[in-house]
Amino acid sequence: MALLPILHHPDPRLRKKTAPVQQFDQKLQKLIDDMFETMYAAPGVGLAANQVGVQLRLSVMDCSDEHDQPIVMINPEMVGSDDPQDMEEGCLSLPDIRDKVQRYNKVKLRALDRNGKPFELEAEGLMAQCIQHEIDHLDGKLYIDYLSSLKRERIKKKLLKAVASGQ
């Protein structure tokens, strides 16, 4: 397994809509394993393929404290949602920046697992939030897109300052 570099905003690859996964081969299995290793090391609870420069509709997540509940979501789609709430959110592609966004507290997901087998999952709380966040990534969206233009501009300035200072 290998740690993959995580792209940071404003890298344009984060804004591209990803392509559906069609081949379930060894290359995909290695990518999934590397994504889990990268996510755990970051540390994070979710990571989309385009965050590591791969334009496939693939995301991994694990919202457990013990890192023992890994979930692979391939070609995911939300098929239900309920109970919108303001939730604090962060992102590995926007280091050290957090803000409140509105997410559904309950969602129903339909996706394929790492072997191409279809599954459905009902989630709430952090897991529901993570599912929405990762699907947004696969659609080329970031959580900051839900913020006001003023807040987005402040975040942009903070990121540019961090890059200029070499952080």
Q: Domain spans of the chain?
A: 12-164
Q: Per the residue annotation, which of 37, 88, 124, 134 is the catalytic one?
A: 134
Annotation says 134 is catalytic: yes
pLDDT in tens, 130-163: 999 999 999 999 999 999 999 988 888 887 787 7
pLDDT in tens, 57-84: 999 999 999 999 999 999 999 999 999 9
Closest to 96 (Cα-Cα) out of 167, 12, 10: 167
Cβ-based neighbour number of residue 36 at 10 Å: 18
**To which residue do tokens 């804004």 refer?**
15
Q: What is the pTM of this model?
A: 0.94
SS3 109: strand
Give the CATH architecture of domain 12-164: Alpha-Beta Complex (3.90)
Query: Do residues 48 and 76 touch, judged by C-beta distance below 8 A?
Result: no
Name the residue type at position 65: D
Which helix (H) or strand (E) element contains residue 132? helix 126-138
